[in-house]
Structure 1
Amino acid sequence: MFAKKPLTLTAIVLSVALTASCTRLPTNTEPQALRPFDPQSTAAEVVAPIPGREADLLLRDFYAAGAVPAGDYEAARSYLTPAARDVWNPSESVLIVDRIDLNTQPGGNNQRRSLSVRGNVIGALEEGGAFVPEAGVYEATVELEQVGGEWRISSLPSGIIMERNELRNQYQPFNIYFAGKSSNVIVGDRRWVYSGRDSLDTVIMSLITAGPSERLAPAVENILPPDAAFTGKSDGIYEFSNMASMDTEKRTQFAGQVVWTLAMAGVSGPYKLNVDGAPILGDKEELTTDDFASMNPQTASNDVAKLYALTNGDVHEVSGGEVTRLEGELGSEGNVSSVEISSDGGVAAVLKNPDNEEEQIFAVGNLSGKKDEVLRARTISRPSFEQNSNVAWVVVDGTKVVRAVQSTDSGDIVSSEVGTPFLEDIGGEISMLRLSRTGSRAAMIIDGRLFIGIVERTRAGERSIVNVMEYATELSGAAVSVDWNPDGSLVVGTSSPDSPVKRVELDGSSVTAYPSGNINGPVVAVSAGPTMIYATDANALLQLPTTGTEYTNWREVPGLQGVRSAPVVAK
């Protein structure tokens, strides 16, 4: 629950309350400030009060000006009286609301007025531009008075209140990439950067050297020494210092982080990175994404993903309108209830419902060959692979997450329980769990609500899901299925008749509906590929192109018309 926090300015008590169920775990709801990254390099935007503005319109203009951080929020300060400017602290917090509602309180006159401010909180921006989902109600009282014939704000709570539209209009989201804790992978940390800044690339460099957001930190490795710094850009060269202790492997990984972050943000290469005046990788003065191809954060987007369909307990491959039953037990025994298939088509993690048995069987093995049984339980969720297909996760009986690892040498399978401390706080049962492509995040549906957690690797073989937060609270218990899009966003199938399929951004900052003209809830299965989204509704397996199409309706998958199947995009 958000704490009620009274604030007093110039002897006037201002009521600021955030009330509703808190969706962030653990329940630390004091948002940190989003401070200007480099005020000296910010292009000043001319924002000033309109002469003769009415009190309510001036207050609304003030909140719009609060989205401009230039000069320590100088634009917003111009709407305050001199006394209020001295005590107002815009950096105390940055709350994002769906909209701001204003109502004039009774008892005002031509010289003084009080207005009630209200908005539904959807999140907060932390220092460094990380969006944190929140849910609650913001309420405050703001005082205005006449100064030289113009209305000015004389008393208000500290902090910035920003409408969602202003966030979209004034800020842009970018992924800042950090080294994952396993293999040669980089993990995106979504940040919102003010659009009015002169040099996006230097802001990005500052964010990289500052390290990952507090929430993502358990899933990534900050490979920079504590005193490492970005010292500026000169003649097209990004200069860094205090990295002498980094070996070649770490320098290469850091260079890959920088190059891919710049490239994905639209900053053209080639790129020149120097450490203490010398190229970061020895004699190689210019770097491109080709030098770090194995670290591509959107590798899956560049591949053609295979589509499989689970129909009446058998698995089929779907290609070019042709549907082919798989060889072996997956395509012949008719007892498969769920399956995950690796991108190379070599490994399958499968759930089976044997005849006359109450328990389900979870097994892993070659796609067309023998599957080794891992465990049996009353209920088991659909398997989900880590980045490597020799590791699969399932949820057993709704409350226990199990990680099964198959040795690449012996083929032996070792399973262990994943830490789920968050379940003690929110209760409920996990009906679905899907790991992101990098294995750094876990999307879960718990009692119809969507939760995203960070996968912490404490040591080899041990994992925990931490920093769990609820996303898309407006779903109100209607979430049924979920999968990760290649770009890191989520596709969510719901039981809602109005918008059965939703897109949820990586940081939870936005929820949008996919076209819903001819798809009906509940959408019991979804799966996302590089170019197509698949969904099983009450009638059939449907598909929707992700880009480059003029059609807004879902269509039945060619070869499966009239057949209700569950989609399985190879991961």
Structure 2
Amino acid sequence: MSRSRLAAVLGLIALLLVGCATVPGSSDVSVLRRVGDPAEPSAPSGPARGAGPLEIVRGWILASGATAERHSAARAFLGPAAAGGWDDGASPTVVSDRVDTVFEQGNGQSEEAVVRIRADKLGTLRPDGAFVAAPGLVDLTVRLTATNGVWRISGLPPGTIVRRADLRANTRPVRIWFLAPVGGAPVSETRYLATSPARSVSSRVLDELLSGPSDDLRGAALSALPPGALLRSAVGTTPDGVTTVDLTRVGPVEALDAARRTEIAQQIVLTLAGVGVDRVALTVDGEPLLEGRGELGVADVLAGLPPSIRERRDLPGDGPATPAPAPSPAVVTTGGRVLTVPESAGTTTTRESSPDLVTGVDDARSASLSPDGRDVAVVGFENGVMRLFVGRSGAAVTPTTVVGRAVGQPSWSPDGTEVWTVVDGVPVRAVRGPDSSGTVTPVALDTTPLTGLGPPTALRLSPDGTKVALVSDGRVVIATVVRDPGGGARLGSVRVLRPGPVGEALGGVLDVAWAQTDRLVAVGTAPGLPVQTASVDGLELDSPTTTNLTPPVTAVAAASERPVLVVDQGGLWSLPASGGDVWSSVPGGSNSSVPSYPG
């Protein structure tokens, strides 16, 4: 792994050294620096005069994220031999904010000492900026030697240690855009981009795009850019503010069909939009990528996508030329009925006086509108049998052959052609027929990757349809959805989201929902943490306010820029998408309600 690419991942970290036996933690931060901020972090100063072994080790930890000049800030804490032999090129190990340092041998009174470093490991940061969750324990030792009373590290393991707070303060999560293998819809993946040097941010974010999807998206995303494609020169800017991107090793432009060129442009424009680039001029070896299109913006790219895709809330925010339609309302299943939950004037109430959203179901238990709000899937009873029903919103629904002792809340694919759920602990995929009757047919779903994880009790498809979140044995499991041109689908790579020690893990989960394509909300029985939000890569884990809630929390609904809805022992509650200090009661709900947003 090249050190130059590693240096492009982590920013310089400015921290003060402190004189206690634990590297101090800090509260979670929700606002990260903007790429291009004029104030850039600077490397910490070197060892303080008279610093003892513990202070030297803590200084090395705090400086190890400063990648400038081959980690020169961290090397200042090393003796000459160790500085020359230290392998700093390994992927950084990301740990929780608390890092303990204690004496393993010696106490600083002799000329030799060994200091033990212990911390909860969250994962590693790959050279391309992708975080790879790998929970565990960091437990290692470093050797120190005093020369003329000056302590320096004389022996240490390869690699660097970066606290989560330092990573968050000095990088920005940026979405890199790829394509769905079937249909070519935009698919994003989060990478962590250093905030400095700001002048090279556009080039660096395109380097991440050129590196292709990570293993976590294998089979669920691809790139129109051929392997080996590179930037021919650094990304530039014209006098009128247009960003210039010139590619090479793409092959002759005339050899690329129009669809391939359009897909390449889509990936580049959407990715650069995440770092504030408004207009892009694309060339390949100096020749225009798209004939007659000197420059492109996000609106131009989105205008070429089908309406069902370009209206997705996870896409960059310039939006299409015409305003997007008002979002469909949330629904709540309560008392056997399916009702809408309108949002108006900052208040949320169930529409108890309106007609039921569906008919033809005895004792409805859960429901979900299709992404466009036109259709509805409902789980309820027919002649004493729990069954999935599908039909038009506001009309009678049609029973399907999806039946079982326990059928979970339904979840729609982004295009509205599939309904996924869990039946008696087994994930089920039901495909809609070509007619207008609303009937769906269960289709075999290979769930082999879930073997050994325990039967899931809840399932939600991500807004872009590339992942599925399941609840299994109180844990959140993330699996990629791999599709083939013949219409088949299977579960790909599978991992438990944020396992680990209490306070650093997701546990006791009863329900989960996607707030965005890269963020989830989980609710359940965890002591003091009945509601938690987590990034899909497992790096971030936060807890909103619990004021007014009475755990356990049994159900949740979330969507981009929409209030979070949860159900506890007191009923249905709402928290604004922007956050807040208090959950607000939603009249008409009960402790058995099940809310949902379209999708």
Q: TM-score, normalised by structure 2?
A: 0.83
Distance 1:72 1:88, change over 3 A: same
CA offset digits 1:406-463 (Å, max 9, x no partner): 1334656332222222322x33110111010110011111010111111112442222
Amino acid at match of 2:337: D
- Contact 1:330–1:336 (CA<8 Å) still a contact in 2? no
Q: Aligned-pair distance for 1:156?
A: 1.0
Structure 2 partner of 1:92: 90
- Contact 1:45–1:196 (CA<8 Å) still a contact in 2? no
Where 1:542 maps in the other structure, the secondary structure is strand
Q: In 1, Cα distance between the equivalents of 2:328 and 2:220?
A: 26
Structure 1 partner of 2:522: 492
Structure 1 partner of 2:442: 415
Q: In 2, Cα distance between the equivalents of 1:516 and 1:335?
A: 31
Q: Aligned-pair distance for 1:370?
A: 3.5
- Contact 1:434–1:484 (CA<8 Å) still a contact in 2? yes
Which residue of 304, 313, 319 maps to 2:336? 313
- Contact 1:95–1:160 (CA<8 Å) still a contact in 2? yes
- Contact 1:34–1:125 (CA<8 Å) still a contact in 2? no
- Contact 2:474–2:508 (CA<8 Å) still a contact in 1? yes
Structure 2 partner of 1:268: 277
Q: In 1, Cα distance between the equivalents of 2:95 and 2:442?
A: 43
Distance 1:545 1:347, change over 3 A: same
Q: In 1, Cα distance between the equivalents of 2:555 and 2:350?
A: 21
Task: Please state if 1:438 is matched with 2:464.
Answer: yes
- Contact 1:128–1:207 (CA<8 Å) still a contact in 2? yes
Task: Kindly report which structure 2 residues correspond to 1:504-523, keeping only aligned pairs within 5 A, or say none.
Answer: 504-523=534-553
Structure 2 partner of 1:292: 301
Q: In 2, Cα distance between the equivalents of 1:328 and 1:311?
A: 11
Amino acid at match of 1:215: D
Which residue of 324, 337, 345 maps to 2:365? 337
Q: In 2, Cα distance between the equivalents of 1:128 and 1:239?
A: 20
Structure 2 partner of 1:483: 513
Where 2:382 maps in the other structure, the secondary structure is coil
Task: Please state if 1:192 is matched with 2:221.
Answer: no
Amino acid at match of 1:100: V
Distance 1:387 1:561, change over 3 A: closer
Distance 1:497 1:100, change over 3 A: closer
Task: Kindly report which structure 2 residues correspond to 1:34-113, keeping only aligned pairs within 5 A, or say none.
Answer: 35-36=5-6, 45-47=42-44, 48-98=46-96, 99-108=98-107, 109-113=109-113
Number of residue-to-residue matches in the alignment: 532
Amino acid at match of 2:246: E
Structure 2 partner of 1:369: 396
CA offset digits 1:506-550 (Å, max 9, x no partner): 311011111101112221111113231101111111101011x7x
Task: Kindly report which structure 2 residues correspond to 1:92-491, keeping only aligned pairs within 5 A, or say none.
Answer: 92-98=90-96, 99-108=98-107, 109-147=109-147, 149-198=149-198, 199-231=200-232, 232-235=234-237, 236-243=243-250, 244=252, 245-265=255-275, 267-293=276-302, 294=305, 296=310, 298-299=312-313, 303-319=326-342, 320=344, 321=349, 323-324=351-352, 330-331=358-359, 333-355=361-383, 357=384, 359-367=385-393, 368-398=395-425, 400-409=426-435, 411=437, 413-424=440-451, 426-473=452-499, 474-475=504-505, 477-486=507-516, 488-491=518-521
Amino acid at match of 2:68: A
- Contact 1:32–1:93 (CA<8 Å) still a contact in 2? no
Distance 1:513 1:561, change over 3 A: same
- Contact 2:181–2:483 (CA<8 Å) still a contact in 1? yes
CA offset digits 1:488-519 (Å, max 9, x no partner): 31011111352211111131101111110111
Distance 1:129 1:528, change over 3 A: same
- Contact 1:315–1:326 (CA<8 Å) still a contact in 2? no
Where 1:90 maps in the other structure, the secondary structure is coil
Q: Aligned-pair distance for 1:190?
A: 0.8
Q: Aligned-pair distance for 1:483?
A: 0.4
Q: In 2, Cα distance between the equivalents of 1:410 and 1:568?
A: 24
Distance 1:413 1:32, change over 3 A: farther
Q: Aligned-pair distance for 1:333?
A: 4.3
CA offset digits 1:295-344 (Å, max 9, x no partner): 65853697534121111111112324461577578357442112121133
Distance 1:44 1:352, change over 3 A: closer
Q: In 2, Cα distance between the equivalents of 1:465 and 1:555?
A: 38
- Contact 2:6–2:91 (CA<8 Å) still a contact in 1? no
- Contact 1:95–1:123 (CA<8 Å) still a contact in 2? yes
- Contact 1:96–1:163 (CA<8 Å) still a contact in 2? yes
Q: Aligned-pair distance for 1:82?
A: 2.1
- Contact 2:8–2:194 (CA<8 Å) still a contact in 1? no
Identity, in percent, stands at 27
CA offset digits 1:334-360 (Å, max 9, x no partner): 4211212113322122212234x3x42
Q: TM-score, normalised by structure 1?
A: 0.86
Q: In 2, Cα distance between the equivalents of 1:381 and 1:541?
A: 19
- Contact 1:119–1:139 (CA<8 Å) still a contact in 2? yes
Distance 1:408 1:118, change over 3 A: same
Distance 1:55 1:251, change over 3 A: same
The CA RMSD over aligned residues, in Å, is 2.7
- Contact 1:314–1:325 (CA<8 Å) still a contact in 2? no
CA offset digits 1:193-212 (Å, max 9, x no partner): 22222321110111111111
Q: In 1, Cα distance between the equivalents of 2:260 and 2:49?
A: 57
Q: Aligned-pair distance for 1:60?
A: 0.8
Amino acid at match of 1:306: P
Q: In 2, Cα distance between the equivalents of 1:448 and 1:44?
A: 40
- Structure 2: state its 5+ residue gaps: 13-39, 238-242, 316-323
- Contact 2:389–2:397 (CA<8 Å) still a contact in 1? no
CA offset digits 1:4-23 (Å, max 9, x no partner): xxxxxxxxxxxxxxxxxxxx
Distance 1:82 1:563, change over 3 A: closer
Q: Aligned-pair distance for 1:564?
A: 5.4
Structure 1 partner of 2:18: none
- Structure 1: state its 5+ residue gaps: 1-30
CA offset digits 1:374-433 (Å, max 9, x no partner): 3222222211111111211112221x3221111334656332222222322x33110111
- Contact 1:317–1:325 (CA<8 Å) still a contact in 2? no
Distance 1:148 1:258, change over 3 A: farther
Amino acid at match of 1:311: T
Q: In 1, Cα distance between the equivalents of 2:71 and 2:540?
A: 25
Q: Which segment is superposed worse, 197-206 or 401-410?
A: 401-410
Q: In 1, Cα distance between the equivalents of 2:381 and 2:81?
A: 72
Amino acid at match of 2:557: S
CA offset digits 1:126-163 (Å, max 9, x no partner): 22111122221111111011245421111111111121
Q: Which segment is superposed worse, 108-117 or 200-209?
A: 108-117
Q: Aligned-pair distance for 1:38?
A: 5.4
Q: In 1, Cα distance between the equivalents of 2:90 and 2:515?
A: 35
Q: In 2, Cα distance between the equivalents of 1:433 and 1:452?
A: 10
Amino acid at match of 1:397: D
- Contact 1:363–1:373 (CA<8 Å) still a contact in 2? yes
Amino acid at match of 1:283: G
Amino acid at match of 1:70: A
Distance 1:325 1:475, change over 3 A: farther
Distance 1:329 1:225, change over 3 A: closer
Q: Aligned-pair distance for 1:476?
A: 5.8
